[in-house]
């Protein structure tokens, strides 16, 4: 039996299909898929008016937004452990609409923001939109938003609109999303209809008509398959936007009215459906129930604890029968046991974190053996079903034969591997030529590439260069870098963006990651100065000048200028190279500030001691 939500649920599924969040009014429960076993629980702030959750990155991180009358708070949680990574405050009521990779889209009455996650931070970036969107969704690597009379595609890395799709007729968009090939939407005027915009023309139908109004659409940014919930009957419908096949109604055993659904895209297309007081169900979109006997990953399993009674007023959930009674919250209640508070994201000049905000606290639920499953019903006997039946019969015969030797219990699962270990293993495999797979997705490398404006096809090269550093290699050979970058010899020989951006150095037929980038990924402090403020979007567009007394410390000047910059400032140490300062500032999400230099061809803040010198530079004043 799967997890049983006690109240009306909502579902959010991680992009890799390994985890799902069941969001109820009073709690958020994390499930491992496909077993549907509860592994962690988060309490929702009871003072919040509403809340939303989305998954970010890989391995998945959970972003939880709590909305209040005049502001919002966002917590970034790691379900492994579990632990709090970061928390921020947004100075207006906002809603989480969708997520793409490490980015989440938040919309409010005053504008839009892109929240970018790293291993240690959650950073908000304001989106310079011409109009305030009303709805948002995900489509491939982009966000899609509804603006008056059109749908816009937004790039979360550059934070700029890319394309505008004009609506064929006026309408109020109620939901939208898409993939690399199509964009879909539903409208208030035609509640039974799915309209489709073909980005890649494959002869797709321009619309799909359901037999009843559409109450909710579950989608995935890499799939053209949708799961729709009917408003009148609560039935679940499967829709393939890429084909003219008939819309299929999916019957779910144990659920008479679907209240929430989430699309799970792995090797197959499946949907996770939920109803209050009923076990959640995971089925393929052709109606077959999926095997849910997979155990909880070892990295999620908490340490054994003394079993205590756990009662629920409305429903007894077998998955929590032996869980210890502890309260996990996103607000300031104390736990019965002292817990060391995790690191909290420093307040941003634009979006400040309130003093004394308590970090999110989560607890792990021990995995529960679901026990023997009842025989599953199937319309037709497939080859897989016949094989399962044969295996069950041979197992029963083997059990009847006496064994001379008792079976040995399997060894405990190893602990969860660190992303640096995984990256180093992949790098060694590339060097010896035993792998052709892509590198693991590392949030810190994605953030570095975004700050340095490195094109997406080159991110694998950054991962390879940093992995070589972790392995102690004195650099990588051009032939290996070319192989990682799909035979891009311009980049491997120093004629491309890796060389022009100075993120890589080329010497003696070896290529190394630049020191400033290496220190950022190693989570070391900058070598050229001191960071003042919180890394974030920089509003400075060119070099500028500030007049300050010679004896005034550069750090104090930087603190005074923070509200005008909109992010962090890297205040230079004495006698540093301004070029190195600028590169390191960009890598750390800051703008460089130096005293006495004359460099004006890059984004930098020059500090001089008198007005005459400032006039000679002929630069804009920052004051």
245 in the same domain as 132: yes
Exposure string of 265-300, with b = 16+ CB inside 10 Å and e = fewer, is beeebbbbbbbbebbbbbbebebbbbebeeebbeeb
Residue 411 pLDDT class (50, 70, 90 cuts): low
32 in the same domain as 80: yes
Give me the DSSP letters along 228-239: EEETTT--EEEE
Res 207: pLDDT: 92
CA distance 568 to 535: 5
Omega into 5 within 30° of 0, i.e. cis? no
In a domain, 500, yes or no: yes
242 in the same domain as 139: yes
195 in the same domain as 98: no
In a domain, 347, yes or no: yes
33 in the same domain as 110: yes
Res 500: pLDDT: 92
231 in the same domain as 132: yes
What are the backbone dihedrals phi and psi of residue 49, each rounded to the nearest 5 degrees, phi first?
-70, -35
153 in the same domain as 76: no
CA distance 173 to 157: 25
In a domain, 411, yes or no: no
Residue 371 has pLDDT above 50, yes or no: no
229 in the same domain as 150: yes
- In contact, 186 and 194? CB cutoff 8 Å: yes
Res 392: pLDDT: 59
CA distance 282 to 470: 40
**What mean pLDDT do residues 306-318 have?**
35
Residues 6+ apart with CB under 8 A from 307: 322, 324
From 499, 565, 33, select the one nearest 292 (Cα to Cα).
33
CB atoms closer than 10 angstroms to residue 477: 15
Exposure string of 555-583, with b = 16+ CB inside 10 Å and e = fewer, is eebbebbbeebbbbbbbbeeebebbbbbb
Res 107: pLDDT: 93
Res 1: pLDDT: 57
Residue 196 has pLDDT above 80, yes or no: yes
SS (H, E, C) 360-394: CCEEECCCCCCCCCCCCCCCCCCHHHHHHHHHHHH
In a domain, 577, yes or no: yes
Res 269: pLDDT: 83
CA distance 15 to 221: 8
Res 158: pLDDT: 83
| Position with higher pLDDT, 88 vs 362 | 88
**What mean pLDDT do residues 609-623 have?**
83
Last residue of one domain, picked from the residues 483, 504, 521: 521
Give tens-digit pLDDT for 51-99: 999 999 877 899 999 999 999 999 999 887 678 899 999 999 999 999 9
Residue 284 has pLDDT above 90, yes or no: no
Total number of domains in the chain: 4
| Position with higher pLDDT, 272 vs 315 | 272
The two structure tokens encoding residue 249:
């109604």
| Position with higher pLDDT, 74 vs 397 | 74
User: Could you give the C-alpha distances from 455 to 91, 139, 187, 498, in angstroms and in order?
Assistant: 32, 19, 36, 9
Q: Where are the alpha helices (DSSP H) in 485-623?
A: 489-492, 497-500, 515-521, 554-565, 578-587, 611-617
Last residue of one domain, picked from the residues 466, 487, 521: 521
In a domain, 555, yes or no: yes
Residue 575 pLDDT class (50, 70, 90 cuts): confident
The two structure tokens encoding residue 562:
């923070």
> Cα-Cα-Cα-Cα dihedral of 359, 12, 278, 282, to 10°?
-130
157 in the same domain as 182: yes
3-state helix, strand, coil in the chain (%, to 5): 20, 30, 50
Half-sphere exposure of 171 (CA within 13 A, CB side): 19
Residue 300 has pLDDT above 70, yes or no: no
Res 352: pLDDT: 37
pTM strictly above 0.75: no
| Position with higher pLDDT, 292 vs 465 | 465
3-state secondary structure of 447: helix
CA distance 11 to 62: 12
Domain of residue 221, CATH code: 2.130.10.10
E-strand stretches of 4-82: 10-13, 19-23, 27-32, 37-43, 50-56, 61-67, 72-78
Res 346: pLDDT: 32
- In contact, 11 and 272? CB cutoff 8 Å: yes
| Position with higher pLDDT, 566 vs 228 | 228
pLDDT above 70 as % of the chain: 77
Give tens-digit pLDDT for 445-500: 988 988 888 888 899 999 999 999 999 999 999 999 999 998 999 999 999 999 99
| Position with higher pLDDT, 341 vs 159 | 159
Give tens-digit pLDDT for 324-335: 323 345 554 433
Give the residue numbers spanning the domain of 61.
Answer: 1-114+279-368
Res 562: pLDDT: 82
285 in the same domain as 233: no
In a domain, 389, yes or no: no
SS (H, E, C) 133-166: CCEEEEECCEEEEEECCEEEEEECCCCEEEEEEE
- In contact, 287 and 28? CB cutoff 8 Å: no
**What mean pLDDT do residues 2-9 have?**
91
301 in the same domain as 361: yes
Residue 145 pLDDT class (50, 70, 90 cuts): very high
Helix (H) or strand (E) holding 593: strand 590-595
140 in the same domain as 63: no
Residue 23 has pLDDT above 60, yes or no: yes
**Tokens 């319309």 sit at which residue?**
379
Reading across the β-sheet that carries 150-155, which strands appear in turn?
Answer: 160-166, 150-155, 142-147, 135-139, 173-178, 182-187, 193-198, 207-209
Res 496: pLDDT: 93
Res 289: pLDDT: 46
Res 236: pLDDT: 94
- The torsion region of residue 507 among left (phi > 0), alpha (psi -120 to 50) and beta comes to beta
Residue 367 has pLDDT above 90, yes or no: no
In a domain, 293, yes or no: yes
Q: State the pairing for strand pair 94-100/207-209.
A: unpaired
Res 385: pLDDT: 59
In a domain, 55, yes or no: yes
From 162, 152, 151, 179, select the one nearest 241 (Cα to Cα).
179
Last residue of one domain, picked from the residues 521, 552, 578: 521
- For the chain, the average pLDDT equals 80
From 66, 59, 432, 20, select the one nearest 261 (Cα to Cα).
20
CA distance 523 to 322: 40
**What mean pLDDT do residues 228-252 have?**
89
CA distance 549 to 559: 15
Numbers of helices and strands, H then E, in the chain: 11, 35
Which range, of 214-228, 338-352, 483-497, averages the lowest pLDDT? 338-352
Report the length, in residues, of the chain.
623
């Amino acid at each position: 039996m799967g997890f049983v939500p006690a109240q009306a649920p909502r579902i959010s599924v991680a992009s890799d299909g390994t985890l799902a969040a069941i969001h109820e009014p009073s709690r958020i429960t994390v499930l491992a898929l496909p077993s549907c076993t509860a592994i962690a629980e988060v309490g929702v702030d009871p003072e919040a008016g509403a809340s939303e959750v989305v998954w970010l990155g890989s391995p998945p991180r959970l972003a939880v937004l709590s909305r209040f009358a005049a502001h919002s708070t966002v917590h970034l949680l790691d379900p492994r452990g579990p632990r709090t990574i970061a928390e921020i405050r947004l100075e207006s009521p906002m809603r989480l609409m969708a997520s793409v990779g490490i980015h989440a889209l938040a919309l409010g009455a005053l504008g839009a923001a892109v929240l970018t996650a790293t291993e240690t931070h959650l950073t908000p970036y304001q989106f310079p939109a011409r109009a305030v969107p009303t709805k948002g969704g995900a489509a491939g690597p982009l966000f899609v938003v509804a603006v008056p009379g059109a749908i816009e595609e937004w790039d979360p890395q550059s934070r700029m609109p890319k394309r505008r799709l004009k609506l064929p007729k006026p309408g109020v968009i109620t939901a939208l999303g898409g993939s690399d090939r199509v964009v879909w939407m539903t409208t208030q005027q035609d509640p039974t209809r799915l309209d489709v915009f073909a980005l890649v023309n494959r002869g797709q139908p321009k619309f799909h008509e359901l037999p009843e109004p559409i109450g909710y659409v579950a989608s995935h940014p890499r799939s053209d398959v949708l799961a729709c919930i009917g408003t009148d009957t609560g039935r679940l419908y499967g829709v393939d936007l890429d084909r003219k096949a008939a819309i299929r109604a999916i019957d779910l055993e144990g659920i008479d009215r679907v209240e929430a659904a989430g699309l799970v895209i792995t090797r197959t297309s499946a949907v996770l459906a939920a109803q209050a007081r009923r076990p959640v169900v995971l089925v393929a979109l052709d109606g077959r129930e999926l095997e849910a006997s997979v155990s909880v990953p070892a990295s999620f399993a908490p340490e054994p604890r003394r079993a205590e009674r756990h009662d629920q007023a409305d429903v007894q959930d077998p998955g929590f029968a032996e869980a210890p009674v502890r309260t996990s919250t996103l607000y300031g209640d104390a736990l019965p046991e002292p817990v060391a508070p995790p690191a909290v994201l420093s307040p941003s000049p634009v979006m400040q974190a309130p003093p004394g905000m308590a970090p999110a606290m989560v607890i792990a639920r021990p995995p529960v053996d679901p026990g023997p499953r009842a025989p599953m019903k199937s319309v037709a006997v497939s080859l897989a079903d016949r094989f399962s039946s044969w295996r069950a019969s041979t197992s029963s015969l083997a059990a009847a034969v006496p064994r001379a030797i008792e079976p040995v219990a399997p060894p405990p699962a190893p602990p969860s591997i660190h992303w640096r270990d995984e990256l180093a293993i992949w790098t060694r495999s590339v060097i010896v030529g035993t792998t052709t797979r892509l590198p693991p997705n590392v949030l810190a490398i994605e953030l570095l590439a975004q700050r340095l404006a490195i094109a997406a096809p080159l991110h694998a090269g950054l991962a390879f260069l940093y992995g070589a550093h972790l392995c102690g290699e004195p650099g990588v050979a051009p032939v290996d870098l070319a192989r990682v970058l799909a035979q891009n010899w311009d980049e491997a020989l120093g004629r491309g963006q890796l060389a022009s951006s100075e993120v890589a150095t080329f010497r003696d037929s070896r290529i190394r990651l630049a020191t400033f980038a290496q220190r950022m990924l190693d989570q070391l402090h900058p070598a050229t100065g001191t960071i003042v403020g919180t890394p974030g979007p920089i509003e400075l567009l060119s070099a500028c000048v500030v007049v300050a007394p010679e004896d005034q410390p550069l750090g104090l000047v930087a603190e005074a200028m923070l509200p005008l910059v909109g992010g962090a400032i890297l205040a230079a140490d004495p006698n540093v190279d301004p070029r190195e300062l600028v590169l390191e500032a960009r890598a750390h999400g800051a703008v460089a500030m130096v005293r006495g230099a004359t460099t004006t061809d890059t984004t930098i803040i020059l500090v001089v001691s008198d007005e005459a010198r400032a006039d000679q530079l002929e630069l804009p004043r920052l004051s």
